[in-house]
Amino acid sequence: MTLVVGHRGAAAHAPENTMEAFRLGVEMGADAIELDVHLTRDGQLAVIHDETLERTTDLQGPVRELTMKEIRRADAGYRFSASDGSFPFRGKGLKVPTLPEVLRSLPAGTGLVVEIKPAAAAAPTVEALRSAKVRAAGAVSVISFDQRAIDEAHELDPELSTGYLLVPFEAFDAGLTWAVQRGHSAVHVYEGDLGVDPAPKLNQARAYGLQVGCYVVNDPQRMQHLAAYGLWAFVTDWPDVGRQTLGPRGAPPSAQPGAQSSS
């Protein structure tokens, strides 16, 4: 069954990478939530996508040059705008969380995908995950565009699922070959690179024993199309739409002519 992964929680509904977004992602039926981590000046793992604060908060500055205490002063709901142009989360107390905070709050049965941004965050991320319930359940994966980051994560914890993120238009064959050679479990591609017929790429990955995920899928028809071909997982800003499209957790995807289910 194809997994619905909430992109930065439920990024279409709440400020990305906040506890509110993660809560909503779980509530909306996501099989897993995805988040990003950066390392702060005092060695903590801040859950934030960008290397600076300004796009998502009311403050500025590089995450790596700030302490977590300084980062926590920012309003993480400040920039999120609703469809009517309002800013419903401003001043509501949303803060940039740490990875340990998210791990403690994640309910049983919900998976986690951690994207490591800088390679320097790899070792602290692996350490934070060691005692986490989601790690013990085998429901966590660490991914990165940075080959050094997932290589280090794999070396530090060979049993931890690691996946290589391919940038848009990166050659699938080369990325897959590299992931196989380095002992990683999955490749994650830009959804457009799977094309109209994703079967050749999915079958190629299966032949090597790797899973294939993709980012970011927000169109219901595309969700259903990829699920019918047995895609392992897709990341979406709309986990509620993904859940409605694929049906209840555990339900098989809709059949499609020519589609091949995953083995």
Which CATH number belongs to the domain containing residue 166 in this structure? 3.20.20.190
- Enter the tokens of residue 121: 């965050």
User: Degrees (nearest 5) of the Cα angle 189, 192, 195?
Assistant: 105
Give 239-249 pLDDT, tens digit per residue. 999 999 999 98
| Contacts made by residues 163-170, CB under 8 angstroms, sequence distance 24+ | 163/187, 163/188, 163/211, 163/213, 164/188, 165/115, 165/215, 166/190, 166/193, 168/192, 168/193, 169/193
In a domain, 254, yes or no: no
Give 30-79 pLDDT, tens digit per residue. 999 999 999 999 999 999 999 999 999 999 999 999 999 999 999 999 99
- Enter the tokens of residue 36: 């990003």
In a domain, 256, yes or no: no
- Domain hosting 32: range is 3-246
> Which pairing describes strands 3-6 and 186-190: parallel, antiparallel, or unpaired?
unpaired
Give 165-212 pLDDT, tens digit per residue. 999 999 999 999 999 999 999 999 999 999 999 999 999 999 999 999
> What's the one-letter identity of residue 217?
V
In a domain, 49, yes or no: yes
In a domain, 259, yes or no: no
In a domain, 216, yes or no: yes
Cα–Cα distance for residue pair 52/117, rounded to 1 Å: 12
> What's the one-letter identity of residue 167?
V
pLDDT tier at 258 (50, 70, 90 boundaries)? very low
What is the pLDDT, as a whole number, of residue 260? 36
User: Degrees (nearest 5) of the Cα angle 189, 195, 196?
Assistant: 140
Output helix, strand, coil percentages for the chain, rounded to the nearest 5.
35, 20, 50
Specify the 3-state DSSP secondary structure of 86.
coil
Helices first, then strands: H and E counts in the chain: 10, 9
Q: How many domains does the chain have?
A: 1
What is the pLDDT, as a whole number, of residue 176? 98
Cα–Cα distance for residue pair 121/136, rounded to 1 Å: 21
What is the pLDDT, as a whole number, of residue 253? 43
pTM assigned to the model = 0.94
In a domain, 263, yes or no: no
In a domain, 180, yes or no: yes
